Amino acid sequence: MRNPPHAPCTFVIFGGTGDLMRKKLLPSLYRLAQNGAFDKGCQVLGVARDRSLTDKQFRAWARAALSDLGLPAGDRDWCDQCLHYQPVDMNSPDDFKALAARIGALEAGRSAGNRVLYLALPPASFEGTIEALGKAGLNRSKGWTRLVVEKPFGHDLDSALRLNALVHKYFDETQIYRIDHYLGKETVQNLLAFRFGNALFESAWNRDHIKSVQISVAEQTSIGSRAGYYENTGALRDMVQNHLTQLLTLTAMEVPAAFAADSIRFEKVKVLRSVAPIGRDAIVFGQYAPGKVDGKKLPGYLQEPGVTPRSRTETYVAMRLEVQNWRWQGVPFYLRTGKSMPQRSTRIVIDFRKPPVALFRTVGRRPHRNTLAINLQPDQGFDLTFEVKSPGDRFTLQTERMQFRYPEIKDSLWDGYETLLLEIVRGDQTLFVHADETEASWRLYAPLLRRRSMPHPYAAGSWGPEAADKLMRATGGDWTT
C-alpha cells in the first residue's frame, strides 16, 4: 500500500461512460482506492451527454464494468460512496454552470477544492470542452486544478499549435498533463534507472559502442470497428508521433541535471530538435492485406467495415532516424509499428558493435554482437546477450542470454494508468508530455504527412512489407522480432 498523496480531490471524467473510462480509468481508480493510494475523500464524477442516466444507474454500470474485468465489484462501498454522474451537453453554457455547481457540492467538506479535469474524449471535442471549462471558471479552484488531455494532442503541427494556445489561454503549463500511457509502464520508467543508475551501461551508451537502435510496437489486432477514427489518423499519427517518439527520446536523451520534470523534459526536447529531416528513402508505409493471425483468417484493411475502398491510410510505418549530436552521430535509430502483426510486442533493442579485433576468427565463428532488449509488453523486463566458450575441449563460441522479468520480483505490476493517475494527484509532471515536446514532434513528422505515398501491402500475420526489410538491410541490419 502506498501512502495517501496530499489532500483528497475530485476526478471529473469527461467521457465518463466511454470505453476509456470503462476499460482503463474506472478499474485504475478503483484499484488505487482499494490499495489505499487515494485519500478516502476522493470522489469521481462521470460526465457524459446521456440525460436519462442517474447516479444510481451510473453506479450500477460501473459495478458491471468492474465485474466484467474480474474485479470484486460486489464491494459496493466505493461505487456507492465515491461515484457520481452529471449530464452535460458540451455546447451548453448552462450545463457547464450546473456542472460547476455539482463539483462545488462534491468538494464541500471533502477535497479542499482540488480537482482533476480528465478529457477522455475524442480529439475533436478537446477544443470546445476546454473553452467551455475556461468560460465556466472551472480552470481555477480553492485548491489546485489539473487538466489531463489524452493523445493524440493535435492532428498535425497547426492543430497542435492551436490547441496549445487555447489550453494556455485558460491553464498554466504547470496545470496541464498531456498523457501518454506508455510513460506509465514500469519498464519505461526503469529505462531511466537502467541507463543512469548503472555506470556500466551509461558509459557504453554512445556511438563508440552502439551500432543501431530499434524501437518496435507490434499490434496483433486489426482496426476492427474503428475505421471512423483510423481512416483520419493512420499509424504515423496514432503511434509514431506519440508512443514511439516518447520511447525514442528516453532512449537517446542526455543525462538530465536532476530527476525532475523540467530537467527530463528539457533533454527530451533536445533529442527531437537534433533529429535530421527524414528523407523519402528513409520511411516505408504499409497496409495490411488479407492473411492469418494464429491460424485465423483476417480481412485486409480495405475489407474492414467503414474503410474507403481505395484508402491510402497506412497501418504500418517503418523509418530510419538520425540523431545528429555528439553522442549519436552515425548511429541509425529504426522505428517500426504495425497492426495485424504475428504477435503483440513492444521493445527497444540496443545492438552493440562487434569487438574491433577478430581474435577468434580461427575457432569456428566470430563473436555475435551483444544486444540489449528492453521489453515493455507483454513480458516486461530485459534480455542481454553475451558470448561464452562452448563447453568441451574445443574452443568455440556460443551466445547466451541473461534475463530479468518483473514478475520475478513482484507478482503484479501497476497498470500504466494507475501510475499516471497517482502522479497527477501528486502534481508530478515527469511522466507527462510538455507543450514543447508536442510541437517539436509534430514539426519532425509534418513533412511526412504531406508526402505520404501509396502504402505497401503486407499480409496480416506477417512482420510487414518487404520494403521495410530492405530499409533495414541498406545499413547491414535486420529487424529483431
Q: Which residue numbers are catalytic?
A: 243
CA distances from 317 to 13, 144, 335, 416 (A): 33, 41, 8, 24
Nearest-CA neighbor of 301 among 472, 114, 465, 88?
465
Helices (H), 291-434: 416-426
Amino acid symbol at 223: I
Q: Is the dihedral of CA 49, 25, 78, 107 positive or negative?
A: negative
φ and ψ of 217, to 5 deg: -125, 100
d(CA 370, CA 48) in angstroms, rounded, equals 52
Do 78 and 109 form a contact (C-beta atoms < 8 A)?
no
Closest of 371, 338, 366, 359 to residue 459, by C-alpha: 338
What Rg value do the Cα atoms of the chain yield, rounded?
24
**Are 185 and 417 within 8 A, CB to CB?**
no
Q: From residue 298, how far is each of 285, 302, 341, 459, 464 by CA, in Å?
A: 20, 11, 11, 9, 15
DSSP letter assigned to residue 147? E
Chain center to CA of 351 = 23
